[in-house]
A and B are shown apart, each in its own frame.
Chain A
């Protein structure tokens, strides 16, 4: 069983749609990261959360520590948002989800 579970695994959306990616974890954590990985492998850190909500442009991330759940929302999605989004939690080490592959169609 993975310490971090993401859903959905794959997601296709039309440009402009509102997108939600979910992450549930089973270990005690001090922080949660949302990462974006483009084809070719490069990973960019989008957010680091320990409580509440953060917003950066069209991206919003929320975390509920009691429910061990986080969501990443993308408003007004755009084809350049197409990537794999990975949830990673910080317990006694980093644990990563397997990622959600997002494709935004023009």
Chain B
């Protein structure tokens, strides 16, 4: 157990809808990163939040947005869902933003877009 939880575990949406995925970090971890993992692929970095501000972003369009809250929880929002958004979405928390910090991964949310 990493102490990081995600909800929901599974989700089915249709193209064009919006989705919000949630992550609860380990207590005291002020940094959270979100990743998208398509079937058979390695995770792809979406963005990182540090102290409620975006602190780095991968190659994802603006319809992928996030929020981080003072209670160590965070959200990933995806608007105008596309079929290719179907994937496992992982969040990971760490003590700080340093790239050498160990990341603690949640179990992921499986999103299916029909």
Contacts and interface: CB of A to CB of B under 8 A. Distances in A.
B66 interface: no
Contacts of A106: none
A92 B76 CA distance: 21
Interface stretch (A11-19, A44-52, A54-62, A75-83): A44-52
Given A93-B58, A96-B43, A42 B100 contact: no
Interface of B: 2, 33, 35, 37, 40-45, 56, 58, 88, 90, 92, 99-100, 102-108, 110
Contact of B42 (A41, A48, A50, A98): A98
A71 B92 CA distance: 24
Contacts of A50: 100
Contacts of A98: 40-42
Interface string A73-106: 0000000000000101010011111110000000
Interface string A22-52: 0000000011010100001111110010100
A48 B92 CA distance: 15
Q: How large is the interface on A (under 10, 10 to 19, 20 to 34, 35 or more residues)?
A: 20 to 34
- The winner among B58, B103, B104 for most chain A CB atoms within 10 A is B103
B41 A40 contact: no
A95 B99 CA distance: 12
Nearest to B58: A93
Contact of B99 (A44, A45, A90): A90
A94 B45 contact: yes
B58 A4 contact: no
A97 B88 contact: no
